[in-house]
Structure 1
Amino acid sequence: MSTATDLDLTHTQALLQIPAGGLASERHNIETGIPGVRLNPTLMRHEISDPELAEAALRSGEPSSQVVILLAKGELRAASELVAETRFLQPQNFAMRVLDTSLTRAAGDAPRAINRLRALITEFKGTAHEAVLQQHLGFAYAESSDLLAAANRFRAALDLRIASNADQHLIEMSRACLESVLDHTASVAAGADTQHPAAVNAASLHPAPATSQLPVQAPAAH
């Protein structure tokens, strides 16, 4: 677990307090509001829970929902094309700007996604859009193994969503992801030497390229 420097939202002691309701002993995937798609709060990824419902939503749903479904299916090229097409017509479409960072994460570049999300938070600080940006920053930090920064962002998203009386599934997403990070932080403090599952999963999807030594060539004869 890395040492976080992202402490601008809340004091560390307050951050690491257990959320109201305690820590769940068994964590389930959470409905997203998109038919057939749930969020896995341990891996921090969307997953297909009902293929038929998801395919129906893919045919007739909103473009943002279609992108989430394509990402959940691992169809990054199709998702990227849909984001590009929508942003060409609607450059300031907020959902697509956020999902563009999800594509960046899915392509294996969480640090770049973090930079882009931080810029978006600067732009939308104090607006109704801030909570979703804090949530996505939490995903990116968890995949980067910066668990304190991830907890910081999930806590911020949870507080914002509770304060705004957001839909219950959004509150539960933030709560479950925060709990997942706090659980893992506690296990590391107790001596476990493992990365958070979100970081392990992200690394498994994008393994580092194998390095091989170049053959040593004999000097040319003169």
Structure 2
Amino acid sequence: MITAPENDLTHTQALVQVPAGGLEPRPRQNIESGIPGVRLNPALMRHEIADAELAAETLRTGPASWQVVVLLAKNELGAASELVAETRFIDPQDFAMRVLDTSLTRASGDSQRAISRLRALLTEFKDTEHEAVLQQHLGFAYVESGDLLAAANRFRKALDLRTAAGADAHLIESSRACLESVLQYLGAGDDGADTPHPAAVHAADQPAAAQDPAGEEH
């Protein structure tokens, strides 16, 4: 079968083309995160504890950013928030903590605020080595907000950036798995409407995020 050249496709058509290597029969689970004891569940766009003992060791001896991911995976948001605040008090511009701060916002049920903060970070770090992780996290936030097309766009960008940069295999796999998970739901409804992604359903069940009167990062 002859397919049209990519340049002849509209942006949306090009976006939802099946990634090289095809799609898995179902969304993959437990993608390596690079953090001992923790893996990424692309169906929920959340980190989960895969090995309790390894995760506990990471929490005791790992870098602060790894510890925050473990606490988020355990849904210990208060402890995660305290660790982020302590680390950023020492180094307010710590990039990993600035991103993880938006993960806390998402975990608290406020994907729209997370999107706003991530877009601000993307403006600051556009075309740098940090762009891929911001595109990936924007993908997470857009899925949870229910905008699957925007999420697919971000995951595709993260995948392209990571592939071009020769990033670690688990990072490339993470972006690919999340993109494939979103593509499974785009236009999947019988009436042509998007079927809600499990991550969006999960996010809707989270308690509303506490409002920050000052509107500042914490």
Normalised-by-shorter TM-score class: 0.7 to 0.9
Matched, 1:130 2:134: no
Paired amino acid for 2:47: H
RMSD between aligned residues: 1.7
- Of stretches 96-105 and 188-197 in structure 1, the one that deviates more from structure 2 is 188-197
Aligned match of 1:198: 199
- Which ranges in structure 2 are unaligned for 5 or more consecutive residues? 1-9, 210-218
CA distances 1:76-123 after superposition (whole Å, capped 9, x unpaired): 000000000000001110000000000000111100000000000000
Contact 2:187 2:195 in 1 (8 A): no
TM-score (norm 1): 0.86
Alpha-carbon separation, structure 1, partners of 2:208 and 2:58:
32
Displacement of 1:193 after TM fit? Answer: 6.6
Matched, 1:174 2:155: no
- Which ranges in structure 1 are unaligned for 5 or more consecutive residues? 1-9, 209-222
Matched, 1:86 2:87: yes
Displacement of 1:192 after TM fit? Answer: 6.9
Aligned match of 1:70: 71
- Runs of 4+ in structure 1 deviating by more than 2 angstroms, as ranges, are 188-194, 205-208
Paired amino acid for 2:150: A
Alpha-carbon separation, structure 1, partners of 2:30 and 2:190:
26
SS at match of 2:40: strand
Displacement of 1:203 after TM fit? Answer: 1.2
CA distance 1:193–1:131, change in 2 (3 Å): closer
Which has the larger Rg? 1
- Of stretches 197-206 and 144-153 in structure 1, the one that deviates more from structure 2 is 197-206
Aligned length: 199
Displacement of 1:204 after TM fit? Answer: 1.8
SS at match of 1:31: strand
SS at match of 1:33: strand
Alpha-carbon separation, structure 2, partners of 1:135 and 1:59:
27
Aligned match of 1:19: 19
Displacement of 1:186 after TM fit? Answer: 4.0
Aligned match of 1:152: 153
Displacement of 1:191 after TM fit? Answer: 4.7
CA distances 1:31-77 after superposition (whole Å, capped 9, x unpaired): 10111100000100000000000000000000000000000000000
